[in-house]
Amino acid sequence: MTNYQELNLISKSYFSNDKYEITVLSNASALLNQYLEDVSWVGFYLFKDEKLILGPFQGLVACTEIPVGKGVCGKVAATKEVEIVPNVHEFPGHIACDSRSNSEIVLPIFLKGNFYGELDIDSTSFERFNEVDKVNLLEFVKNLQKDLERILLN
């Protein structure tokens, strides 16, 4: 079982001295990949030019651009709400970057209220993600947002 308490404690201070967005996002994806069990892909899609573009990640080669409204990530970009998908094969319009992926959670990231991008996590297991993951990953994102705001908006 994932030790979310330890993960989120680390995330509150781990990035506090970093000065670069790419550094924070790269190490955040590595930290999540290290702590989360049964995941096959952990990374970020950033909102640029009215679409999602691939950011730092851990895992197999991924889709480089995703239109808003298309697939799970595109839906989150449109709704700005967390999406938990127990079986991605049943999700209308799912984009299969990795055919081994069976479940997914996507969490939006906001900087000062503006949509910045998403944290996307995949698993080869069905029904891998639940409300416990959602609550704890939202805390991780909240900690990450503070560091990104400090770097990008000050």
| Residue 77 burial by Cβ neighbours in a 10 Å radius (0-12, 13-18, 19+) | buried
For residue 96, which phi and psi values (nearest 5 degrees)? Answer: -95, 85
Q: Residue 135: pLDDT band by 50, 70, 90 thresholds?
A: very high
Per cent of the chain over pLDDT 70 is 100
Q: Which of 25-29, 44-48, 62-66, 97-101 has the lowest mean pLDDT?
A: 97-101
- Give me the architecture of the 4-152 domain, per CATH: 2-Layer Sandwich (3.30)
Spell out the domain ranges in the chain.
4-152
Helix ranges (H only) for 1-154 are 4-13, 21-35, 71-79, 131-152
What value does the mean pLDDT take over residues 19-45? 97
User: What pLDDT was estimated at residue 128?
Assistant: 98
Strand arrangement, sheet containing 83-85? 65-67, 51-59, 41-48, 114-123, 103-111, 83-85
User: What pLDDT was estimated at residue 71?
Assistant: 96
User: What pLDDT was estimated at residue 6?
Assistant: 96
Q: Is the pTM of this model over 0.95?
A: yes
User: What pLDDT was estimated at residue 117?
Assistant: 98
